[in-house]
Structure 1
Amino acid sequence: MRRIFFLGVFISGFCLSQQTDSLALNKESDSVKIPEKKERIKVIDDVVITGSIKPVSKSKSPVAVEIYSQKFFQKNPTPSVFEAIAMVNGVQPQLNCSVCNTGDIHINGLEGPYTMILIDGMPIVSSLSTVYGLSGIPNSLIERIEVVKGPASSLYGSEAMGGVINIITKNALSAPKLSVNLMTTSWAEHNVDLSTKFNTGKNTASLLSLNYFSFNEKIDQNKDNFTDAALQNRVSVFNKWNFQRKENRMASFALRYLYEDRIGGEMQWDRTYRGSSEIYGESIYTNRVEAFGMYQWPMKENIITQFSYNFHDQDSFYGSNPFEATQKVAFAQTYWDKKMGNHDFIVGVTYKKTFYDDNTPGTLSADGITNDPMKSPILGAFIQDQWDINEKNTLLFGYRFDYDKIHHSVHSPRFAWKFSPNPYHTLRINFGTGFRVVNLFTEDHAALTGSREVVIQSNLKPEKSINGNLNYVWKIPAGERLINLDASAFYTYFSNKIVGDFDADPQKIIYDNLQGYGISRGASMNLDYSFGFPLSVNLGVTYLDVYQKFDGETEKSRQLHAPKWSGTYNLTYKFPNNLAIDFTGQFYGPMRLPVLPNDYRPEYSPLYSLANIQVSKSFDSGFEVYCGVKNLFNFTPKNPLMRPFDPFDKNVNDPINNPNHYTFDTTYGYASMQRIRGFFGVKYNLK
Structure 2
Amino acid sequence: MRHFFLILLFVASHVFAQQTVTGKVTDGNQSIAGATVQLSNGVITATDGNGVYMFENVSAGNYNITASYIGFRTQAKDQVIGTKDITLNFELKEDGEALNEVVITGTMKEVSRADSPIPVEIITSKLFKKNPTASLFEAVGMINGVMPQLNCNVCNTGDIHINGMEGPYTMILIDGMPIVSALSTVYGLSGIPNSIVERIEVVKGPASSLYGSEAMGGIINVITKSPDKAPLVSADYFLTSWGEISTDAAVKMKTGKATSLLGINYFNYNVKADKNHDNFTDLTQQNRISIFNKWSFNRNDNRVASLAARYVYEDRWGGEMQWEKKFRGSDSIYGESIYTRRAEVIGMYQLPVSERIFTQFSYNWHDQNSYYGTTPYMATQQVAFLQAYWDKQFGASHTFLLGGAMRYTHYDDNTPATASADGLDNSAQNTPLPGLFIQDEWTLDEKNKLLGGYRFDYDKSHGGVHSPRVAYKFSPNHTNTFRASFGSGFRVVNLFTEDHAALTGARDVVIAEALKPERSYNGNLNYVLKVPARPFIFNMDVTAFYSYFTNKIVGDFDTDPTKIFYTNLNGHAISQGVSLNTDWQFNFPFKLMAGISYTDVFRIDNTPQGSEKTRQLHAPKWSGNFIATYTFNKSYSTDITGNWYGPMRLPILPNDFRPEYSPWFCTANIQFTKKFDYGLELYAGIKNIFDFVPKYSLIRPFDPFNKTADDPVTNPNGYTFDTAYNYASLQGRRMFLGVRYSFM
- What's the TM-score bracket when you normalise by the shorter of the two chains? over 0.9
Query: Is residue 36–residue 46 contact of structure 2 (8 Å, CA) maintained in 1?
Result: no
Q: From the CA coordinates, give the structure whose radius of gyration is larger.
A: 2
Q: Which has the higher contact order (CA 8 A, sep 6+)?
A: 1
Matches of 2:504 and 2:184 in 1, distance apart?
16
State the partner residue of 1:63: 118
Q: CA deviation at 1:550?
A: 0.6
State the partner residue of 1:280: 334
What do residues 385-424 of structure 1 show as CA deviations (whole Å, max 9, x unaligned)?
0000000100000000000101110000000000011111
* Residue 454 (structure 1) aligned with residue 509 (structure 2): yes
Alignment of 1:202-601 (within 5 A): 203-341=257-395, 342-479=397-534, 481-552=536-607, 553-601=610-658
Query: Is residue 104–residue 134 contact of structure 1 (8 Å, CA) maintained in 2?
Result: no
Alignment of 1:85-234 (within 5 A): 85-201=140-256, 203-234=257-288
Aligned-partner SS, 1:551: strand
Q: CA deviation at 1:318?
A: 0.6
What do residues 578-631 of structure 1 show as CA deviations (whole Å, max 9, x unaligned)?
100000000000000000111100000000001000000111121100000000
Query: Is residue 143–residue 169 contact of structure 1 (8 Å, CA) maintained in 2?
Result: yes
Query: Is residue 31–residue 529 contact of structure 1 (8 Å, CA) maintained in 2?
Result: no
Structure 1 letter corresponding to 2:69: V
Relative to the length of structure 2, the TM-score reads 0.87
Report the CA distance shift for 1:571/1:480 in structure 2 as closer, same or farther (over 3 A): closer
Q: Which moved more, 1:301-310 or 1:203-212?
A: 203-212
Aligned-partner SS, 2:137: helix
Matches of 2:664 and 2:496 in 1, distance apart?
32
What do residues 26-46 of structure 1 show as CA deviations (whole Å, max 9, x unaligned)?
xx9995535564337961321
State the partner residue of 2:660: 603
Q: Tell me the percent identity.
A: 61
Aligned-partner SS, 1:164: strand
Q: CA deviation at 1:360?
A: 1.0
Structure 1 letter corresponding to 2:580: M
2:739 to 674, 682, 686: 682
Q: Over the residues paired in the alignment, what is the CA RMSD in angstroms? A: 1.4
Query: Is residue 173–residue 204 contact of structure 1 (8 Å, CA) maintained in 2?
Result: no
Query: Is residue 131–residue 445 contact of structure 1 (8 Å, CA) maintained in 2?
Result: no
How many pairs are equivalent? 659
Matches of 1:585 and 1:281 in 2, distance apart?
32
Matches of 2:660 and 2:629 in 1, distance apart?
36
Aligned-partner SS, 2:689: coil
Q: Which moved more, 1:33-42 or 1:585-594?
A: 33-42
Matches of 1:35 and 1:315 in 2, distance apart?
59
Structure 1 letter corresponding to 2:353: M
Query: Is residue 34–residue 531 contact of structure 2 (8 Å, CA) maintained in 1?
Result: no
What do residues 281-306 of structure 1 show as CA deviations (whole Å, max 9, x unaligned)?
01100000000010111111000001
Structure 1 letter corresponding to 2:50: K
Report the CA distance shift for 1:132/1:449 in structure 2 as closer, same or farther (over 3 A): farther
State the partner residue of 2:70: 44
Q: CA deviation at 1:482?
A: 2.6
Aligned-partner SS, 1:421: coil
What do residues 264-285 of structure 1 show as CA deviations (whole Å, max 9, x unaligned)?
0000000110110000001100
Aligned-partner SS, 2:301: helix
- Structure 1 unpaired stretches of 5+: 1-27
State the partner residue of 1:614: 671
Aligned-partner SS, 1:315: strand
Q: CA deviation at 1:659?
A: 1.0
Matches of 2:535 and 2:679 in 1, distance apart?
33
Q: Which moved more, 1:33-42 or 1:619-628?
A: 33-42
Aligned-partner SS, 1:60: coil
- Which structure 1 residue ranges, 4+ long, deviate > 4 Å from structure 2? 28-32
State the partner residue of 2:705: 648
State the partner residue of 1:17: none
What do residues 434-453 of structure 1 show as CA deviations (whole Å, max 9, x unaligned)?
00112111221100011111
Report the CA distance shift for 1:173/1:471 in structure 2 as closer, same or farther (over 3 A): same
Matches of 1:426 and 1:674 in 2, distance apart?
42
Matches of 1:537 and 1:302 in 2, distance apart?
41
Structure 1 letter corresponding to 2:231: P
Matches of 2:274 and 2:297 in 1, distance apart?
50
State the partner residue of 1:626: 683
Q: CA deviation at 1:139?
A: 2.2
State the partner residue of 1:22: none
Structure 1 letter corresponding to 2:238: M
